[in-house]
Structure 1
Amino acid sequence: MGIGNNWREKAKYRGSEENMELTELQKQITEPDRECEARAEKHWMQLAKPLSGLGKFETMVTQIAGIQRTEQIRLHKKALLVFCADNGVVEEGVTQTGQDVTAVVAGNFLKGETTACKMAQIAGVDLFPIDIGMIRDVEGVSRPEDKVAYGTKNMAKEPAMTRKEAWNAIETGIRKAKERKAEGYQILLTGEMGIGNTTAASAITAVMLNRPVEQVTGRGAGLTGEGVRRKVQAIQRAVEINQPDRREPLDVLAKVGSLDIAGMCGAMLGAALMQMPVVLDGALSMTAALLAVALVPACRSYLIASHVSKEPSCQLLKESLYLDPVLNADMNLGEGTGAVALMPLLDMAAKVYFEMPTFEGIEIKPYEVLK
């Protein structure tokens, strides 16, 4: 069953500061402008090409028209937010590499030496690495106002973070979306970097979708069969020890989540608040989207799914969120690479949308809409 507008009735929140702020978010994040969507769809129908010939790309452009509240969509300035954080659960042997890799890759983002950087250069995307919870600081990336904690605790032994830390990370993501909007960015992409974060993503997905841990847990960055077994056992212990309440998304995030997932969740809420489309990457950002939609159901209309990753949870997540990803390329890298890969294709669709002549303009009888 997908997460729909009835989630708010099912969820329960404690009387707290974040409860008041969440209630305000729920009021301020509204559905896109359906009239603008209708005008964009009508324009597609008038273009001198087979009806719906560009398939999902026409749907995306139409969706963006509603989000931006204009059929004259704007996609010139694109920002990729890459949230970087470490996870205490790596103590359980759930990864091939140590936590020091997170900081190394974060530093390489500044040098333009990661996969996402190379792809972003081609796609015209500006990349912003954010240290929301690495175990050590990286010059040029780490900022006190962004860093919520120096990594999470080992969720197989205790809650990954406090409820306050989880909410602070969401707020950081919201603030980052607002900053990009103020700088003139028109579309937001989400990415992450954090050794051990697929363990947190699988734990959140298992709890939120009420699925067996084995069904939603994959190899991450290349675990052996024995490594996957340890990963499953660690998640099962985490759920048993912490007893996260699936009716309360913030409780799930705090007990078995990660700071980078929390940051992406906040960025999605912030994008919706700022009336910006937000492009998801793979399973990690879909997990963040699952939480964002559970917290504010209207946020779902602002989400664009880029691709289906090899993580076993991805299919379940896209079905639960009613998302229809464009790419199926067996990608499994993270960093927002799938979201970046979608951008040149979306630019092509926008080029057709704005510059293709109409049937009337070239004096050709339009195609008839089949009933």
Structure 2
Amino acid sequence: MILLEQTLKNISSGDKEAIKKAWERMDSLSKPIGSLGKLEEIAVKIAGITGQVKNKINKKNTIIMCADNGVWEEGVSACPQELTAIITDNYTKGVTGIGVLSKNVGADITVVDIGVNGNFNNDKIINKKIAYGTKNIAKESAMTREEAIKAIEVGIEIVDNLVKEGYDLFGTGEAGMCNTTTSAAVISVFSGMDSDSIVGMGSGLTEEGFINKKRVVKEAIKLNNPDIKDPIDVIAKVGGFDIAGLCGCFLGAAKNRVPIVIDGIISCAAALCAYKLNTRVKDFMFPSHLSAEPGSKYVMNEIGLKPCLDMQMRLGEGSGCPLQFSIIESALAIMNEMATLQEASIEDSEFLVDIRK
């Protein structure tokens, strides 16, 4: 609890002076003002994080939190629970979606067992297991409050350690059967909306299975009655260890003043939890794609962020993060390398009037 409290106290907003200077340079570049859209916004936002107008990413890493969920017992997933452990192990082999995409952009991944229902003999998986999966939210709270805090602090610790290793851009991924169910429950609580409008199909559900999933989420929220004003209570009652761990990653990134990318619906749920704990984390978050899961739109609107991509992706794993890494680095290249109007010798040109419109 001490680490969480210290982290929340040590999160400050983006550097306004650096943001001002960054916009001044961006608007002086040899292009019409605003013509590079979100690339301009990203570069300026990074300046607010670092306090420097020009920035370069040195090392990139997507943190993947892996955990099982007791609600699997309710038939809300078409996949066997053992698949969580198999996928977790495969992440370390570089053959999954996140592995291939990460290698393509020169990024690393960090795999964390925060609650998989199984054991690993793999030194590439960091063992931070809170328990062998959560409890069944259809029958009781997913975890205790103490477990929720411990899981959040795991995420903070992972980011702290990776920052010390020189990483300065992070992504957020996960593995865990039924985690679209727990994410929908968390988002539904915070939104106050009917959970039926938040619950998505997940992976491979039949129409009958989808109806059952919506029923389970609705009943779990009613049974556990999480306190909307207490994000930790929401996580503990209807969330998952992966959501809690990723929530900690967002908080840890903000504390360390490094950018962090949101992936799909589970990452969205974790980002929302972090935002509810400290709204200033928004200044360090970068959405990647708009997940096909319906709850993602609410999260983006609630935090006030707009994804760069809409590709109908719903793989999870953090697969949207490497794509956003490339966009972020492209934005920084614009700020760093593009000539200003003066440098391009067109500042006094009659043409200037036209291109600045």
TM-score, reference length from structure 1: 0.91
Q: 2:66 pairs with 84, 92, 116, which one?
A: 84
- Structure 1 residue aligned with 2:334: 352
TM-aligned CA deviation for residue 58 of structure 1: 1.0
Name which of 171, 182, 206 aligns with 1:200: 182
Tell me what 2:18 maps to.
Answer: 36
1:311 aligns with 2:293: yes
Q: How many aligned positions are there?
A: 352
Which of residues 224, 241, 244 is equivalent to 1:262?
244
Kept in 1: contact 2:77–2:205 (CA 8 A) = yes
Corresponding residue number in structure 1 for 2:282: 300
1:23 CA displacement: 4.2
Distance across 2 between alignment mates of 1:351 and 1:126: 21
The percentage of counterpart residues that share the same residue type is 38
Matched, 1:132 2:114: yes
Given the alignment, which residue of 164, 181, 191 partners 2:146?
Answer: 164
Q: Which residue of 1 aligns with 2:310?
A: 328
SS at 2:61 equivalent:
strand
Deviates more, 1:264-273 or 1:233-242: 233-242
Q: Is the 8 A contact 2:60 2:170 kept in 1?
A: yes
Distance 2:102 2:5 in 1: 36
- RMSD of equivalent CA atoms: 1.6
- The one-letter amino acid paired with 2:249 is A
Which of the numbers 104, 110, 118 marks the counterpart of 2:86? 104
Alignment of 1:66 with 2:52, yes or no, is no
Write the distance in 2 (CA, Å) between the matches of 1:341 and 1:361.
Answer: 31
**Ranges in structure 1 where 5+ consecutive residues have no aligned partner:** 1-17
Aligned equivalents of 1:74, 1:352: Cα separation in 2 = 11
Unpaired segments ≥5 residues, structure 2? none
Deviation at 1:45, TM superposition (A): 1.1
2:269 is aligned to 287
State how far apart, in whole Å, the 2-side matches of 1:240 and 1:358 are. Answer: 58
Q: Give the distance between the partners of 1:210 and 1:370, measured in 2 at CA.
A: 44
How far is 1:368 from its partner?
Answer: 7.8
What CA deviation, in whole Å up to 9, does each residue of 1:13-39 have, x standing for no partner? xxxxx3x65443332111111111111
Shift of 1:271: 0.3
SS in 2 for 1:111: coil
TM-aligned CA deviation for residue 72 of structure 1: 2.3
| Cα distance in structure 2, aligned partners of 1:370 and 1:363 | 15
Question: Per the alignment, in what secondary structure is the counterpart of residue 38 of structure 1?
Answer: helix
User: How far 1:272 sits from its partner (Å)?
Assistant: 0.4
Partners of 1:367 and 1:121 lie apart in 2 by 44
Q: Residues 90 and 154 of structure 1 are in contact (CA less than 8 Å); yes or no, is this contact kept in structure 2?
A: yes
For 1:32, give the aligned amino acid.
G
Match of 1:7 in 2: none
Counterpart in the other structure of 2:165: 183
- Equivalent residue number for residue 4 of structure 1: none
